[in-house]
Every structure is written in structure tokens, then in C-alpha cells.
Amino acid sequence: MVTQDIRYIGVNDRDLDLFEGQYIIPEGVSYNSYMILDEKIAIMDTVDGQKTEEFLANVQRELAGRMPDYLVVNHVEPDHAGSIQALLCAYPQLQIVGNAKTIQMMGQYISADFSKALIVKEGDSLSLGAHQLTFFMAPMVHWPEVMVTYDSRDKVLFSADGFGKFGALDADEDWDCEARRYYFNIVGKYGAQVQALLKKAAALDIQIICPLHGPVLKDNLAHYIEKYNIWSSYGVESEGVFIAYASIHGNTAQAAQQLKQILLDQGCVKVAMADLARDDMAEAVEDAFRYGKVVFAASSYDGGVMPFMEDFLHHLQAKNYQKRTVALVENGSWAPSAARTMKNLVTGWKEIQLIEPAVTLRGAVKESDTAALQALAAALLA
């Protein structure tokens, strides 16, 4: 139960191994749906088609013999719209509520008569009785049709994918960590659009946030909103340095470890690291955005850079990586090419301060390389 009139009818999914076919979710994920009980009844989104049967049972339980009037579709992505077809079959009198883009896109996924749909636009309202729903468009957070819904009676924001996180609802884990990984990998490219939504939300009296993934947020909402403001403005969340490395024979990894120790010895408060060949790419993306200073360390490979690093940099570029201090470390036994390749990829990113020169290693890390690594650490911390 969210409030006396708003009931949770979503489901947990601990069977799925990859969210959106690419992000590992060891603690599963939740598909959230809600029901508002009033003179008229509104269902807020549905769940993934793999969990339709459980979802329909939840709907039936909360209806307790009544019939629903509206289905509000805030987001058409299949993990939220995957049970619409079945819901309409069970309750054919349901009137779909969505914006024009919603109705247009729904036809790609379900077969239904949309002629009686209630098409809403920015600021439109729908009365359920005591509960008044107002709709706000949130395009590209993170699909073009996304909207959010505000219930003025219980002061609830149904935030679509905003404020979501990985992890089933019974997962015992920190919200910040998995919400951050979720945000930067799912929504991270669209910081400007999230900022626009936050400005709209700031004008509302919000006491509860109901996202489509993760827990309902009731306490300390300022914390979650502050995180979203930092993330969507590409601000620095944590002091420290993040080192991402891609190593062939272990020498570049050794250099990364040595640089970490040098940074700590020079007073750096935190050094996070990722082995791009072995660690979760989504976590590496998360940490690259979390810290303000990053080091890309990689072996040269086929006249370029080791593919794991190249892939990582393309991930960052796709997520609109910006406003960071970047240092480069390369390794190459006979023709070092990693730094040049990495620099070419990074050049053009918005507000990137590139520390020059890059550190060049040749094979194993030698005592003579220590001075260059120390100078790089000092430049990072300056």
C-alpha cells in the first residue's frame, strides 16, 4: 500500500539476467504498477509481458470486485507496457490515457482500438473523484513519449523511469549505488531533459515518488532529488579519481595499481578502479560519471588501443560524457598508439580538461616510470 487509496500492483523479476539485453542485474528488477481507488479507478502503467499472470492477479485482488476505468500509460517501453494487451482483454471497458506520441507508439507493440483513447497534453488534468491527476510531458526521459503524472490529493508523483533503480523490491542494497548505475546507463545521455523535468517537479508539492523501477520513495526526498540534480547536470558527486584500465599481459594493470598508490600517498581521498576486461561495464560507466577526475590506461593494440578501452570510451561518448579532467596512460612495446587513439576519441567531448602529456610505458613498469606517474598524479590533484 502506497497510501490509503493508492495500491502497489507491480511485480518483482528475479528471472531476468540482463536488463535491456545488456545490463547485469544480480538482484533482479521490479516492474512497478499502481492502482488509484476513487469514484473512478485508474491503473498506472503495466508490467513486462513475462509477468502478466502475476500482474493480473494483483489487479484483481485490489479491485475486489470493482471494474477499472482508466489505464494511464506514462511510458510505452515493453517492460512497462508488456501487459497492456492482456489487461485490455480482461477489462475491455478500460479507457487508455496517454499523450499523442504514446498512442502513436503503442501500435508498434499491441493491437487495440485507440479511437476512444483520452489524449492528454502538458498540464491537462483528469478527475477520478477526490484524486485529480495532472500530466506533464517528459520527452526523452528516456523515450520520446514519456510523461509523468501528479496526484494532487496524495501529493504523489508517478515518475515513469525517473528515480528508478535496478534490483527487486526485496533486494537488500543501497539505493544510491544501483540508482546511479541505472541512471547513467539508461537515462544518462539525456541530462538536459531530466533537468527540464526537475524544474517542473520543483513547482509541485511532492511527498511521495512512485517510479516504474525500484522502491516507492517517501522519506528524505531531498536526497534523491539532489542526486538527480547532480547526475543530470553532469556534476561531480564524489571527490576522488577513477582509473579505468585495459591490460594485455598485466603490465598496464600494474601501472594502474602503482598510480593508485601514488595518488593515495599524495592525499587523494578515494581512488576507484575498473578492469575493463573483467568488471561490469555499466559499473565502470557509473564510476566515470561519479568522480570528477579519470585516468584511461590502456595497452596499444593493432595500431590503436585495446578493444575493451575503445568500447568503454564509445559507451561514455554515447552517454554524453562531459565536464571532467582526463589523464591518459598508454603502453606499447614497439609502437605505442593507445594514447593517440584515446585522445582522438576524447577530443570533442564537452568541457573535458585533458592533462598533457600522456604517460607512455614500454612493456613492464620500470623504476624510471615512477617519476612520470608521480607527475601525472600531482597534475590530477592540482
Q: How far apart are CA 75 and CA 78, in angstroms?
A: 9
Task: Kindly tell me if the per-residue pLDDT of 111 is higher than 90.
Answer: no
For residue 1, being part of any structural domain is answered with: no
Residue of 237, 235, 178, 234 whose CA lies nearest to 211: 178
Q: For residue 361, tell me if it sits in a domain.
A: yes
- Give domain status of residue 301, yes or no: yes
Answer yes or no: do 121 and 226 share one domain.
Answer: yes
Provide the percentage of residues in the chain whose pLDDT is more than 90: 97
pLDDT bracket for residue 110 (50, 70, 90): confident
Whether 222 and 266 map to the same domain: the answer is: no
Identify which of 351, 299, 326 has the alpha carbon closest to the alpha carbon of residue 241: 326
* DSSP states of 303-336: TEE-HHHHHHHHHHHHTT--SEEEEEEEE-SSS-
> Does residue 58 have a pLDDT over 90?
yes
Residue 175: CB atoms within 10 A of its CB come to 16
**Band of residue 24 on the pLDDT scale cut at 50, 70, 90:** very high
Same-domain pairing of 183 and 249: no
The CATH number that applies at residue 284 is 3.40.50.360
Would you say residue 10 has pLDDT above 90? yes
* Average of per-residue pLDDT across 144-172: 97
> Is there a contact between 330 and 298 (Cβ–Cβ < 8 Å)?
yes
Q: From CA 72, how far away is CA 261, in angstroms rounded?
A: 53
pLDDT band with cut points at 50, 70 and 90 for residue 113: confident
State the residue range of the domain holding 43: 6-232
Task: Tell me, yes or no, whether 165 and 246 share the same domain.
Answer: no
- Does 261 lie in the same domain as 207? no
pLDDT confidence of residue 247: 97
Lowest average pLDDT, out of 170-174, 290-294, 313-317, goes to 170-174
Residue 259: inside a domain, yes or no? Answer: yes
Q: What is the pTM of this model?
A: 0.94
In a domain, 295, yes or no: yes
Query: Are 240 and 269 contacting, i.e. CB atoms less than 8 angstroms apart?
Result: yes
Residues 253 and 228 both lie in one domain: no
Section 272-293 average pLDDT: 98
- Which CATH number covers residue 79? 3.60.15.10
pLDDT at 68: 98
SS3 117: coil
Residues 173 and 273 in one domain: no
Q: Which of 47, 144, 160 is nearest to 104 (CA)?
A: 144
Residue 177 lies in a domain: yes
Looking at 67-76, 106-115, 192-201, 246-255, which range is the least confident one?
A: 106-115
In a domain, 137, yes or no: yes
Per-residue model confidence as pLDDT tens digits over 314-370: 999 999 999 999 999 999 999 999 999 999 999 999 999 999 999 999 999 999 999
So what's the pLDDT on residue 216? 98
Residue that is last in its domain, among 200, 232, 264: 232
Query: Can you tell me the distance from the alpha carbon of 308 to that of 322, in angstroms, rounded to the nearest whole number?
Result: 20
Q: Work out how many domains the chain is built from and give that number.
A: 2
In angstroms, the first-to-last Cα distance of the chain is: 51
Q: Is 363 left (phi over 0), alpha (psi -120 to 50) or beta?
A: left
pLDDT attached to residue 259: 98
pLDDT at residue 203 tops 90: yes
Which pLDDT score, from 0 to 100, does residue 204 have? 98
From 193, 213, 232, the end of a domain falls on 232
Per-chain mean pLDDT for the chain: 97
| Residue 65, number of CB atoms within 10 A of its CB | 5
Q: How far is CA 14 from CA 11, 31, 164, 175, in A?
A: 10, 11, 17, 18
Judgement on whether residues 319 and 207 belong to the same structural domain of the protein: no
Last residue in a domain, options 232, 264, 287: 232
CA angle 70, 74, 79 (to 5 degrees): 105
Mean pLDDT over residues 37-52, rounded?
Answer: 98
pLDDT value at residue 190: 97
Together in a domain, 162 and 256:
no
Contact 267, 240 (CB under 8 A): no
DSSP state of 217: B
Residue 112 has pLDDT above 90, yes or no: no
Both 225 and 253 in one domain: the answer is no
CB atoms within 10 A of CB 36: 29
* Residues 135 and 271 both lie in one domain: no
166 and 310 in a single domain? The answer is no
